Each structure stands twice: as structure tokens, then as C-alpha cells.
Amino acid sequence: MTYSRRLISAGLMAAAVGFGGHVAHAARPGTTAPAFSLKDVDGKTVSLASLKGKVVVIDWANYQCPFDKMHYESGNLPALQKKYTGKGVVWLTIHSSAPGKQGYHAPADMKKENVRVKNAATYVLTDYDGKVARAYDAKTTPQIYVIDKAGVLQYNGAIDSIPSAKADTLAKAVPHGANAIDAVLAGKKPSPAATQPYGCNIKFPDS
């Protein structure tokens, strides 16, 4: 009995791993945002479950990526973080660069980097093994997710409409990310709810 049960659970696990290799559309707007629990740069554990009842915004980041550099160093992202945390939004910056890869900083260094780029998020989280990035099907830095108070993903995509690493495009671009946050705060569905994110690859660990 136990043997066969073990066999079954082994089979299920194998199946889960098989499918887990590529979880397609895990993060389509309208679906429940995948649960996660990550450490911030101070060692504090932050779980999505504990943030229920609040609008949560995630920006995937890599401070060394030219696109993030532009959005941070031009002051665009820090300004958004300030504006929306002021409106009760919980803003999470998640770093998924694996150790040894571009954008990786140990927590202590990451704290200094946060100050340097004037990050104004509620928490800056590290996802060194890239598991949460995979669960969210995150592809680029920057990439923006907006989760409503009920824990449903409402926006997944680009920060704005012009793929560029040059700050002079900011004024011309449609701010898809900010528009989505405004919509969710107003209890509406963002439009568009999904856009093609642009930027650098997320630097996953070599497998």
C-alpha cells in the first residue's frame, strides 16, 4: 500500500516538474496572483498573503540593466513609488538576478544600491533563485505587475509604451503601468491589462 502510494506521489511530482518546466500564462490578468514569500534586504519575510486587502504593485528590477537605469536614474520609477505608496499602495521591487549575474547584490550591498537609485518602494525583495519570477512568468526588467485588493492580478507588462533606454522618450510614452495602478485604485479594470514588457532578460541562474 505505502509503496504504491509513494509511487503515485512520485508520479505526481514528476508530472508537476514536467509541467513546471514551463508554466504558461501563470500570470495572465484576471487570474489569482501566484502566492510567494520572499525576504527583503533587512531579512524581513514578506508574503503576498499578508498583503491581502491592499493594492500591490511589483516592479522587477536589475539596477545594472540600462532600461532600469534609465527609469530609476531619471527619477521616473522613484517618483511613481512615492506617489502610489502615498495612496496606500504596497510597492514591491523584486530582484531576481542570480549570484554572479548582472544586477546581483548581496542584501547589504543591495541596501546601498537602493539608496543610490533612490528606490522608494515599500519593500525591496530578493528572489535569487528566480522561482517567483518564473511563477509570474516575468521576462524582463523592468516589468510591472498590479494586483488588486482581492489578490487578483490586474496588470502584467511594460512600464510604458515606448521600448527605450533613453530618458527622452518618457514624456512621449503612454504610462501603461501608472494608468493600470490608477484604474485598480479606482476599482476598474486596466486597459490594456497586458502589454509586451521591454528591457533586459531576467538573469536566471544557469541551470
Partner 1 sequence: MNRWFLSLCLMLAALMPLRALAAERVALEHTTASLVSEYSQIDGKSPFWVLFRLDIQEGWHTYWINPGDSGLAPALEWVLPEGVEAGEIVWQPPHRQAFGPLMNYGYSDVAYHLVQITPPKEGLTGALPLKVSASWLVCEEECIPEEAELSLTVAVGDGNVTSPQAGEIKLLVQSASLEALPVTELKSDDTSLTLRLPYQGAQPQDLYIYPREAGVIETVAAQPFDLKDAILTVRLTRGMLEVPDAFEGLLEVRDANGLRHYALTASDPTPAIASNDVGTGLWLILLSAFAGGIILNAMPCVFPVLSLKALAISRKAGQDDVHIRRDGLAYTAGVVISFLLIGGLFLLIRAGGDAVGWGFHMQSPWVVTALIYLLFVIGLNLSGFYDITLSFGGGQSLTQKDGWSGSFATGALATLVATPCTAPFMATALGAALTLPAVAALGVFAALGLGLAFPFLLLSWFPAVLRKLPKPGPWMETFRQFLAFPMYLAAVWLVWVLGQQGGITAAALVLTGLVVLTLAVWVWRRVSGGKAKAILAVFIALFSLFPFVVLTRGGDALVERTDAAFSVERIEQARAGGEGVFVYGTAAWCITCKVNERVALETAEVQAFMAQNNITVIRADWTNADPAITEWLAQFGRNGVPLYVYYPASGEPVVLPQVLTPAIVREKLS
Q: Which residues bind partner 1 (CB under 8 A)?
A: 22, 24-25, 27-28, 64-67, 101-102, 130, 134, 137, 139-140, 156-157, 163-166, 194-204, 206-207
Q: Give the nearest distance from C-beta 102 to partner 1 in angstroms.
A: 4
In 21-155, which residue ranges form alpha helices assigned H by DSSP?
66-73, 76-85, 107-116, 131-135
CB contact at 8 A, 96 and 202:
yes
Which among 121, 66, 65, 54 has a CA at the least distance from the CA of 94?
121
CB contact at 8 A, 22 and 135:
no
Closer CB to partner 1, 96 or 126, in the complex? 96
Closer CB to partner 1, 89 or 203, in the complex? 203
- Kindly compute the dihedral angle of the four CA atoms of residues 160, 79, 111, 102, in this order, to the nearest 10 degrees: 20
Closer CB to partner 1, 10 or 66, in the complex? 66
Q: Give the nearest distance from C-beta 206 to partner 1 in angstroms.
A: 8
Rounded to 5°, the CA angle 181-126-203 comes to 90
Closer CB to partner 1, 90 or 130, in the complex? 130
Cell of 60: 522587477
Q: For the chain, how long is the longest CA-to-CA vector?
A: 67
Q: Give the nearest distance from C-beta 68 to partner 1 in angstroms.
A: 10
Q: Give the nearest distance from C-beta 87 to partner 1 in angstroms.
A: 26
Closer CB to partner 1, 119 or 140, in the complex? 140
Q: Give the nearest distance from C-beta 173 to partner 1 in angstroms.
A: 14
